[in-house]
Amino acid sequence: MSVNNGKTNEFSQSRQYRDPLLTIADLVEFKDQLISEIRKLLSDQMGNTEKKWLKSLEVRNLLNISRGTLQNLRVSGTLPYTRIGGVIYYDYKDIQNVFLANKSGQKS
């Protein structure tokens, strides 16, 4: 037999007022805010994405040059590259550096 001294009832009532209840509407609002924040982060990242390594076709499209011109840039050492398993990769920063090194018409 349990004795109810009134403390259990008091405790559960005070706990109910102290700890706010979560409703389905609260969870839905949280979900919407979370999805909104994730979309914002993804869109910020998408705008700043630069591939670190580019394949030959991507470099040719980027520079609007032919296969032969790209090969000449490789052979002359103008554009550094890395070959892995028959695939040639170019560092995006190296391409930018070649552009900056060959930039003309600058006023000092």
Apex CA 83: angle with CA 68 and CA 55, to 5°? 60
Q: Domain map of the chain by residue range?
A: 22-50, 53-101
Distance separating alpha carbons of residues 96 and 98, to the nearest angstrom: 5
pLDDT of residue 4: 56
Beta strands in the chain (DSSP E): 53-55, 82-84, 87-91
Here the tokens at position 86 are 């028959």
The per-residue pLDDT for range 17-75, each reduced to its tens digit, is 566 788 899 999 999 999 999 888 877 766 655 678 999 999 999 888 999 999 999 99
Report the DSSP beta bridge partners of residue 99.
none
